[in-house]
Every structure is written in structure tokens, then in C-alpha cells.
A and B are shown apart, each in its own frame.
Chain A
């Protein structure tokens, strides 16, 4: 019940294309869903986050789509660039909770 399942494990996208990463959760108490970006040798950095009261959130080229009934959420990276090549983690936590559960990560490579 505490798991967050992330797919795909790895993704190769052409420059200018759309990168899509999917996550699913089971615990309905989760109410905060962040996405983190991690470059080699660095800690994860918050990219964008959403709460279940909205179905979509967009910040620049990054969009989260959220389906509360299906308990799924996804990250879309529009106009993907080589600089976007990194590992992306979805995560989930509940308000007031102390624990953030991370997905296993998706390694994105954007070909120039």
C-alpha cells in the first residue's frame, strides 16, 4: 500500500519530442505528488508538484496530469532538450505525514 510504481525504467526521446513518465499509487491517504529531477552526482531537485484537487498542472515545458480515480499521475516534458537528460522520480506523501515514498526512477536520454 505504500508503494509508488513508476514506468518506464528508461526512455530515449528525440530533441523536440514529448517525454512521458507514468506513476501509480495505492494509498488513498496520499495527497501530495512531487516530481524530482536528479543529475549524476547530485541530490534530487523538486521539478513540479500537484495535489489531487486538480487534474493538471503546468509549469513551463513540464506538465503533471493527475487521475484521482485511477490513482495514477504522469509527467509530460514538452519540447524535450538534451539538457533534460537526467533521472526523474515521482513521489507521494500525505499532509502532515513524515514520509515521502519515491518511485524507482526513469532514466531519460534526449538525443540531439
Chain B
């Protein structure tokens, strides 16, 4: 059984650019949630995907978008990057309908200059 993996581990972008972050969910998990964790803060929920559909969204603007693929892997896309987007982006996978336990990946550290 493989855990949640994310790529890349680190990324540096400039303001206004676009970025795509990737996540492979734990084997057998059909749900992926994305979180933004600013330095010294708790993770903030961005959105969740279940069976390739967005299943809920937090207080993030539309320039944060996502995809989930048939193999349940997922992408987070952020357009028009702003300095405040600098954070650790975490992906968590779970199995819908079987408790709420989420398994987190190691995250992607994004720095926007």
C-alpha cells in the first residue's frame, strides 16, 4: 500500500504566473482534499474532489481550481499567483463513506516572489 505522494516538493514562481501541483492518493482512496498551510498556521481547506467532481469548497477565489482523474490522482491549479499564495500546499486522501480519516502527503512548498 503506497501513501499519499505530492510533486514537486518545492517550487518558486513569480507574481502573476500560474502553477500546477500534483497529488497521488493512497491506494484505494477515492477522495482528495487540498489544503493551504501558511507558515505557523493550521491547514485551511481549499476544496475536495470525489469521483472526479468537486465535492465542496472553502473560502478561496476561483483562481484556485482543481481536477481529479479516473485513477483518483488530483491536480491543484493556481492562476495569477499573488505573494500571499506562498505556503505549503497539502493533499489528503480518504475513502468516502468509511469514516473521516484523512491521510496527508508531505506537501509542496510554494514560494511566490
List chain A positions with a Cβ less than 8 A from chain B. 6, 32, 34, 36, 41-46, 49, 89, 91, 93, 95, 97-105
Partner of A102, one of B43, B56, B101: B43
Partner of B104, one of A6, A32, A44, A93: A44
- What are the nearest 8 A-B pairs in CB distance? A98-B56, A43-B104, A102-B42, A98-B48, A32-B100, A99-B45, A44-B104, A102-B43
Tally of chain B residues near chain A (CB < 8 A): 24
Q: Are A46 and B40 also in contact (CB < 8 A) when A41-B106, A98-B48, A98-B56 are?
A: no
Q: How far is the CA of A103 from the CA of B101 in the complex (A)?
A: 17
Q: How far is the CA of A49 from the CA of B106 in the complex (A)?
A: 21
Least CB distance from B101 to A in Å reads: 6
Q: Is B55 within 8 A of A98, CB to CB? A: yes
User: Quick one: which of B33, B43, B92, B107 has the most chain A CB within 10 A?
Assistant: B43
Partner of B33, one of A36, A46, A49, A98: A98
Q: Is B44 within 8 A of A102, CB to CB? A: yes
Q: 26 A-B pairs, CB-CB below 8 angstroms?
A: A34-B100, A34-B101, A42-B106, A42-B107, A43-B4, A43-B92, A43-B106, A43-B107, A44-B90, A44-B104, A46-B102, A46-B103, A91-B42, A93-B100, A95-B100, A98-B55, A99-B56, A100-B100, A101-B45, A102-B35, A102-B42, A102-B44, A103-B42, A105-B40, A105-B41, A105-B42
List chain B positions with a Cβ less than 8 A from chain A. 4, 33, 35, 40-45, 48, 50, 55-56, 58, 90, 92, 100-107
Least CB distance from A50 to B in Å reads: 12
Q: How far is the CA of A44 from the CA of B90 in the complex (A)?
A: 9
User: Which chain B positions have C-beta within 8 A of A41?
Assistant: 106
